[in-house]
Amino acid sequence: MEIDGKETRVHWEQPAGFSHEASERTLSELPDIDGLWDYHDPAGSERRFRELLPRARDDASASYLAELMTQIARAICLQRAYERAHCVLDEARAFVDASARAKIRYLLERGRIHNDTGRTTDALEHFRDAWRLAEQADEHVLAADALHMIAYVTDGEESLQWHEIAIDFCKSRTEERFERWLCTLHMNAADKCSKLGAYDRAIENAGNCLDVATRLQWTERILDAKCLLAKLRRKSGDLDLACALLDEVLAADESHGYAYEEHAECLLQLGRTPEARHAFARAYALLSGDPWFPPTETARLERIRKLAADES
């Protein structure tokens, strides 16, 4: 495989003391790890994963044990306990060479921790390695995850190029999980375009996300896409349409923190300061406890807090 003009190979070895045949047999008897996830409740997910640990250790399935530990680390990362997450991955490292899939998950989760803690260069290195290995091992779902993280971590036109690669990759596959990846990729691409001031491209990507989410009847992502479209419409000068979209979102979900944030921005721009403060206060209450709020955007959260300061 040639990446960035270089021929790259990623190798892995099965650790001593584990039988591949025994591992495969055990894997068929253990629950699907991804099915245990509740991404809105990382602490609860961590508990479920930990409850499974003794059984995974006793059954001596190195690959399954490694994957399980990487997901424990991810759940901890979402709780912003980064040193603890690194420690779990340090322990998992002894087992990750049991399979390509385990190694890819390890690289992804180590990269996510680095990204959340501002170590972008280290994060990108791990995501690139994860993508290369996923390509070699035909782990298409994990390859999509790695591509999406590369696109997310990079900036400017480079990021948009990676988004195009990731979108084309997912479009070439028919399973619904790849359509869900398309929603995320189009949303992230819209955000990157917005930061470049390319609002037409941003609106096109957000619209594509809304189209896919509507086809999937994915309510949560439909509301997210409408919220993003509202933000883009506000930034491009169409406050009326922005407010109309936000009314739709908040009518469907009164706990949508990003919709309150955007509604507050619209009200502030309209000069309706007391109402804006109230909306900022509601946004801060919701987003400050959201495990998915970008940890690298503390300045944004602090701005919301300050603008809500007069709201008790």
Residues in the chain: 312
The answer as to whether 156 is a domain residue is: no
Two structure tokens written together for 3 = 């990446």
106 close to 94: Cβ distance less than 8 angstroms: no
Neighbours of 189 (CB within 10 A): 26
The answer as to whether 240 is a domain residue is: no
Residue 293: strand, helix, or coil:
coil
What pLDDT is recorded for position 16?
Answer: 43
What pLDDT is recorded for position 43?
Answer: 97
The answer as to whether 180 is a domain residue is: no
Q: Is 4 exposed, middle or buried (0-12, 13-18, 19+ CB in 10 A)?
A: exposed
What pLDDT is recorded for position 8?
Answer: 33
What pLDDT is recorded for position 263?
Answer: 98
The answer as to whether 152 is a domain residue is: no
What is the number of domains present in the chain?
1
The stretches of the chain forming alpha helices (DSSP H) are 20-27, 42-58, 62-78, 82-92, 100-116, 120-137, 140-153, 156-171, 176-195, 199-216, 219-235, 239-252, 257-269, 273-287, 298-307
What pLDDT is recorded for position 205?
Answer: 98
List, in order, residues 6 or more apart from 202 with CB less than 8 Å away: 189, 190, 191, 193, 194, 232
Distance of CA 209 to the CA centre of its chain: 15
pLDDT tens, residue by residue, 226-243: 999 999 999 999 999 999
The answer as to whether 51 is a domain residue is: no
Task: Show the domain range for 271.
Answer: 254-312
The answer as to whether 281 is a domain residue is: yes
The low-confidence residues of the chain, meaning pLDDT below 50, are 1-25, 312
Q: In Å, what is the CA distance from 121 to each residue of 8, 189, 193?
A: 18, 20, 22
The answer as to whether 299 is a domain residue is: yes
Residue 11: strand, helix, or coil:
coil
Neighbours of 20 (CB within 10 A): 12
d(CA 117, CA 110): 11
What pLDDT is recorded for position 217?
Answer: 97
Distance of CA 154 to the CA centre of its chain: 14
List, in order, residues 6 or more apart from 90 with CB less than 8 Å away: none
What pLDDT is recorded for position 29?
Answer: 77
The answer as to whether 294 is a domain residue is: yes
What pLDDT is recorded for position 25?
Answer: 45
